[in-house]
Amino acid sequence: MSDPVILFAARPDRWPVYEAPLRRALSAAGVSDAGLTLEAAPETVDYIVYAPNSEVQDFAPYTRLKAVLNLWAGVEQIVGNETLKVPLARMVDVGMTDGMVQWCVGHALRHHLGMDVHILGQDGEWRNDAPPPPLPQDRSVVVFGLGELGSAVAETLVKLGFDVAGWARSEKQIEGVTCFAGEAGLPDALARAEIAILLLPDTPATTNLLDAEALARMPKGAFIVNPGRGPLIDDDALLAALDASQIGHATLDVFRVEPLPKEHPFWAHPGVTVTPHVASETRPDTASQVIAENIRRGEAGEPFLHVVDRDAGY
């Protein structure tokens, strides 16, 4: 059997970052790295290690292709590509998961403890008259999206003692987490979301999930943390809810247009924290191990891991 041809299709600046980790991971998985390349005749390629912003957009010429292995957790930019007929595997990377847990829990604690009063209030005023925050068990946090990332965030918050609930489009069960599902469960999830963490994919079913009606259902003064996808929130509705003090603060890492335009009102709004899509990134070492394992599986005739459901969109 010949060595598999593995095309690395991402921005050129990614190759120096990923080449060595990929070769190490392939070797550890017992797969030859001789076919790992930046260029190959399409009809010879067995696997594509892929970023959706690469130049490869037409998969029809890749007649020997066995799978496309996404470097990103998000697949919304590729899942609808009609030329892609082979399995598409999304990235589920333990390093990225750990980073996302830390970012989400860090901002949840920031809002829970009211840390902005002291972090941002360095003006000579001795502000020690605010009441203490509630204990974690008296603060309700709801994680919207209970996939790999959302489940890990919810489980960590449970360990910290918070009253944790979660919402997903389909039924989930997580120990210590009150789980809601589907349209029927959304109002109850919103009603208890003193801190809402959004970790849903961008699909037609999740666009504007937090619209004016949804925001009005949340507890007054609720906090929103969104490292998921920008279109999950109706921007105008959020600004109105902030101005009305229905929402206390929104920490946003993702946006409909990125980079966020300088003239966007989020930048200047005192109730918004903008971070530049940095919540968590794919880690080359751990991501390469996931990719190498899927290539090993493909060569052994075993099922691929983390295959995208094209109908669901994730």
The catalytic residue among 256, 264, 269, 277 is: 277
Given the structure tokens 């003006």, which residue do they identify?
Answer: 123
Is 277 a catalytic site residue? yes
Rounded distance, CA 42 to CA 40, Å? 6
Rounded distance, CA 114 to CA 5, Å? 53
Rounded distance, CA 283 to CA 287, Å? 6
Residue closest to 250 by CA, chosen among 262, 263, 264, 233: 233
Is 110 a catalytic site residue? no
> 52 and 177 in contact (C-beta within 8 Å)?
no
The catalytic residue among 107, 112, 139, 229 is: 229
SS3 state at 117 = helix
Residues facing 249 on adjacent strands: 223
Residue closest to 225 by CA, chosen among 240, 210, 208: 210
By annotation, the residues acting in catalysis are 229, 277
